Amino acid sequence: MAVSRIGYVSLFVTDLTAARRHYVEVVGLCETDRDAGGRLYLQAADNQDHHCLILTAAPHAGIDHVAFKVGEVQDLAEAQAAVQARGVTVRQVPAGDVLGAGAAIAFSLPSGQEMRLLHHLDKIGYATGMRNPNPVPPRGKPGARSTHLDHLLLAGERPADTAQFLIDVLDFNLSEQVVAPDGSVIAAFTTCGHTMHDLAIAPGPNGHLHHIAFGLESRSDVIGAVDIMKEAGTKMMEYGPTRHGVSGVTTIYFFDPAGNRNEVYNGAYQAGGVPGLIPPIVWQAQEFPRGAFYYESVVPESFFAEVT
Amino acid sequence: MALKHQGIHRLGYVRLALADPRLLRARAFYCEQFGLLESRRGPGRLYLRCWHEPFAYSLVLEESTDNRLVEIGFQVRDDADLARLAGLVERTGVAVERSDAGAELESLGTSIAFTIPGGPLLRLYADMAQPGYVTGYDSPDWVTPRPLRGTPAPFFLNHVGFTAPDPQAAVTFLRQVLGFVVSERIDSADGTLLSALLFRMSKEVGGQELAVFPGPAGRLHHIAFTKEDPNDILLAGMYLREAGADIDRYGPTRQPYGKTFSLHCFDPFGARLELCAGGRVTEVHSEFEPVVWDEAQLGKALSWYDRDLQTAFLEPSLG
């Protein structure tokens, strides 16, 4: 089979208690576990896996690694061979390195972040259960109605290299891209399925994170999330709620207390599912402000400057 | 062997036969009231698509003397998939019919077709022509095209429901031969399978391209189209009612079975249509676990708001 979906993101935060409060009471995740090393595990209501986010206390914010899942156990060996054939070093990660996770392989993306591929994550079930479940979040659950971790945007000095690696080696598909007048790729949106993007890459220093994004069920839920953030005093981006011209979804950017950028969004989009089937949408660089913030059509300087 | 998505990877189209000379009533409903785009008109056929779809069509309507589901089309990655799946299907004793490009439907590449046990005809193909996104590929406005505003104008074909006398046999075939994954199922009181939702696509949310309900072999249960969110479903309901469409008694509702916000209505020929938003977070993965419903909870499964079980909702539609 193939890469099936984003599994989880592991982030560094400077204050674990403050970060927990943010991800539980604002983003709306549930704490699912905590390990001996003090790492915190969280999951959104509509994902049946053990976690979609790991928080580790560190002197600085940023991304530890991102893990994608493969559909079959034997895919791991195939993935390892494909990554190594590209000349990239692969490290074996034993099961249990993070709670709930089976054996993984780890390697560096061309933009420097660590990517892991794994097959197994323990099942905890949907938040409302697996038998005759209610379709709404459990009563009393605080925060936004986040359903799942949807995608992440990484920073890189040569975004095209990371996109091409994902397409050539891991069978990702390019759905949209931002292109400079000379034809070079400024930003790329890639998916391992039919979503608009599972992993996107934009200009910035290697090894850095631009944002992680959670899905919501409706545009009303985006507005409701902003109301919660304002009450909680969450640091927000200057625009929003707004709409991305790229992908056409309704969205808001904000920050966790350590400075990692978050997004919640709602929208419908269906990509080709396999690379090359549907030609990618191309955003000319001069149109990118409309692509980033459709209503305002201006990109604030901080948008690319602030990465962790 | 490289890491590669293989086999069926997307729901392509539904093909219906309608007792509608020159398809004038069908065109008036689907294009003017429901908000689909006419891709092309072939001899005795109308090819339609949703505005967010780049492919030639997702709904084929053809003139007939009766109303019925003809077939459901799924896209596979390449011709090697077609040959491999044809072999797997034939090994189960099910006959496979091969068609050259363009022979069966316009804009369609080489295809194979077979009838699943107790279910409808499925057609698999690797290639379908792409007229392209109507909003273009160059820094597009991803906004509903002006001529479609004021109609439901769904984004994509979402899933197709059909009836089968032995739902378990149909589901077993879909899983074991074609690689579908069950996202949800309803177990009857005696433990047999009553209904199931199945998927092959990895979407943000949504675990169904096929839905199986108990009933006669291969009849249409419903065709579902994607809307952005519940607010859009409410708006679409207003437009449909204004146009005189026959809206199902559940009205706009949250449907726990599939976890969508949905509205069902009927086309002029009796085909049940659904507009849905959302869906469950699913994954094409060997350890994925389905949601299980007990038959006793059927009322709640079908409508979170109404709760009363309308047995008419379980009936096949169209013909």
* Mean local confidence (pLDDT), A124-138: 95
CATH number belonging to the domain at A3-118, selected among 3.40.1710.10, 3.30.70.270, 3.10.180.10, 3.40.50.10300: 3.10.180.10
* For range A6-18, the mean pLDDT: 98
Cβ–Cβ < 8 Å for B173, B116: yes
Work out the end-to-end distance of chain B between its first and last CA atoms, rounded to an integer number of angstroms. Answer: 47
Looking at CA atoms only, how far is residue A11 from chain B in angstroms?
22
Q: Please, which pLDDT band fits residue A304 given cuts at 50, 70 and 90?
A: confident
CA distance linking residue A290 with residue A180, whole number of Å: 15
pLDDT confidence bin for B1, thresholds 50/70/90: low
CATH code for residues A148-305: 3.10.180.10
| Residues near A147 by beta carbon (within 8 Å), at least 6 away in sequence | A44, A45, A46, A47, A214, A215, A216, A217, B205, B281
Q: What is the mean pLDDT of residues B110-124?
A: 97
Structural class in CATH, domain B156-314: alpha beta
Mean pLDDT across the stretch B109-130? 97
Cβ pair A268:B289 closer than 8 A: no
Phi, psi (5° rounding) for residue A286? Answer: -70, -15
Q: How many CB pairs under 8 A join A and B?
A: 173
Query: Which tokens go with A43?
Result: 């999951």
∠B86-B87-B88 over CA atoms, to 5°?
Answer: 95
How many helices (H) and strands (E) in chain A? Answer: 6, 17
Q: C-alpha B36: how far from its chain's center?
A: 15
Residue A101 DSSP one-character state: B
What average pLDDT does range A197-222 have in this prediction? 97
Query: pLDDT tens digits, residue range B235-285?
Result: 999 999 999 999 998 889 999 999 999 999 999 999 999 999 999 999 999
Grade residue B2 by pLDDT with cuts at 50, 70 and 90: confident
- The residue count for chain A: 308
Residue from B137, B158, B285, B297 whose CB has the most chain A CBs within 10 Å, to mutate? B285
pLDDT confidence of A210, banded at 50, 70, 90?
A: very high
Portion of chain B with pLDDT greater than 70, in percent:
100
Q: What is the mean pLDDT of chain A?
A: 96
Whether A134 sits inside 8 A of B304 (CB atoms) is yes
pLDDT tens column, B33-50: 999 999 999 889 999 999
pTM: 0.97
3-state SS of chain A: helix, strand, coil percent to 5? Answer: 20, 35, 45
- Res. B319: pLDDT tops 80: no
Residues of B in contact with A120 (CB under 8 A): 287
Give the pLDDT confidence score for residue B308 in this predicted structure.
85
The CATH topology of domain B8-146 is 2,3-Dihydroxybiphenyl 1,2-Dioxygenase; domain 1 (3.10.180)
Residue with tokens 């977070």: B281
Please state the ipTM of this predicted complex: 0.96
A135 touches chain B (CB under 8 A): yes
Contact (CB<8Å) A281/B133: yes
**Which residues, including other chains, have CB under 8 Å from residue A245's CB and lie 6 or more apart?**
A283, A287, A290, A291, A292, A293, A294, A297, B139, B140, B141, B142
Indicate the domain borders of chain A: 3-118, 148-305
Over range A32-42, report the average pLDDT: 96
- pLDDT for residue A306 is more than 80: yes
pLDDT beyond 90 at A302: no
Active-site residue list of A: 151, 197, 211, 244, 253, 263
Q: Is A75 on the interface with B (CB under 8 A)?
A: yes
* Spatial distance between the Cα atoms of B173 and B178, rounded to a whole number of angstroms: 7
Domains of chain B: which residue ranges? Answer: 8-146, 156-314
Convert the pLDDT of each residue in B153-200 to its tens digit: 999 999 999 999 999 999 999 999 999 999 999 999 999 999 999 999
pLDDT, chain B, mean: 96
Q: With 80 as the cut, is the pLDDT of residue B210 above it?
A: yes
Report the sign of the C-alpha dihedral through residues B198, B203, B205, B209, in that order: negative
Arithmetic mean of pLDDT, A147-162: 97
* pLDDT score at A240: 83
Picking from A47, A132, A273, the nearest residue to B5 by CB comes out as: A273
Tell me, yes or no, if the two domains A3-118 and A148-305 fold the same way.
yes
